[in-house]
Amino acid sequence: MASLVQHLLARANRAHSVRSYNALVARFRRQYRGDYDMAMIASIGALSPIEFAQQGDGHVAVLRHHGLQDGMSVYDLGCGSGRTAMALQRSGWQGHYKGADIVKPLVNYLKSKCPGYDAVVHRKLTIAAPDESLDMVFHWSVFTHLYPEECFLYMEDTFRALKPGGRLVFSFLELEDAKHHGVFDSRIGRFRKHGWSDTLDVFLHRDWIAYWGQRIGFEDISFTDGTDGTHHPEFWQALAAMTKPGSS
């Protein structure tokens, strides 16, 4: 009996982001009943269709800065409702796109807007791609909702799936940036009032990310402040980038 309870607790915990994100998307679908586009836009944190498109264009500018070229195979972890996919499509980029997310309605929405793009529901902490098959793996505001250990496992499997010379680029929250304090403050408010929060918002440290990256085998690990608009529009979240050694 004890081991069954332990097993069920472990399963429930393992699925924390699946439960919380499915509940969040269901809430927005109720809130925007009759406006499915807005439900899908709000589900990934954008406030309007214009913001959704502008942010997507910013994502593409970040990818271009980090080496995105036509003909590449890219993987969008936690692709949501297709903010980046639609922007890639708008930009005229030609290549192989694969998105993965844990929420089926988000994946279906992306596929309806980007018919030539591949997207799957994938709920393991792995990259749904063969060894050394990807030129770039990217994710925006995904590690913000995962435990550090889950982030590490995703990074480890990203290394496996990247081609030699392939790049990993992702965004994260850090308390060193005063602009991220509002997220923490609202969590404190929720914990003070209710004793818990229905979603996880995680703040990472650059030295943890660098340590994980080095331990896994990545090189050329770099960071960009969320307020840095030198090479692309300011991202708001901080960015990490790293390379799998070798050349493709």
Ligand X SMILES: C[S@@+](CC[C@H](N)C(=O)[O-])C[C@H]1O[C@@H](n2cnc3c(N)ncnc32)[C@H](O)[C@@H]1O
> Does the protein bind ligand X through residue 233 (CB under 6 A)?
no
What DSSP designation does 2 have?
H
Q: Which CB, 17 or 224, lies closer to ligand X? A: 17
Candidates 21, 109, 143, 159: give the one binding ligand X (CB under 6 A).
21
Residue 180 touching ligand X (CB under 6 A): no
Please give the order of strands across the beta sheet that includes 118-121. Answer: 118-121, 96-101, 73-77, 134-139, 162-172, 238-243, 219-224
Task: Return the H-helix or E-strand segment holding 100.
Answer: strand 96-101
Q: Residue 145, interface with ligand X (CB under 6 A)?
A: yes
d(CA 242, CA 142): 17
Spatial separation of the C-alpha atoms in residues 171 and 229, rounded to whole Å: 15
**203: β partners:** 173
The residue type found at 241 is A
Select the residue interacting with ligand X from 103, 110, 119, 151 (CB under 6 A): 103
| 57/131 Cα distance (integer angstroms) | 29
Of all residues in the shown chain, the one whose CB is closest to ligand X is 80
Shortest Cβ 1–ligand X spacing (Å): 30
**Shortest gap between Cβ of 29 and ligand X (angstroms)?**
14
Cβ-based nearer residue to ligand X, 21 or 97: 21
Task: Work out how close the CB of 182 gets to ligand X at its nearest, in angstroms, rounded to a whole number.
Answer: 15
**Residue 169 burial (CB count, 10 A):** 23
Q: Which stretch binds ligand X (CB under 6 A): 75-83, 86-94, 112-120, 187-195?
A: 75-83
Pick one of 61, 63, 101, 161: the residue that binds ligand X (CB under 6 A). Answer: 101
Contact residues: ligand X, CB under 6 A: 17, 21, 44-45, 77-80, 83-84, 101-103, 106, 139-142, 145-146
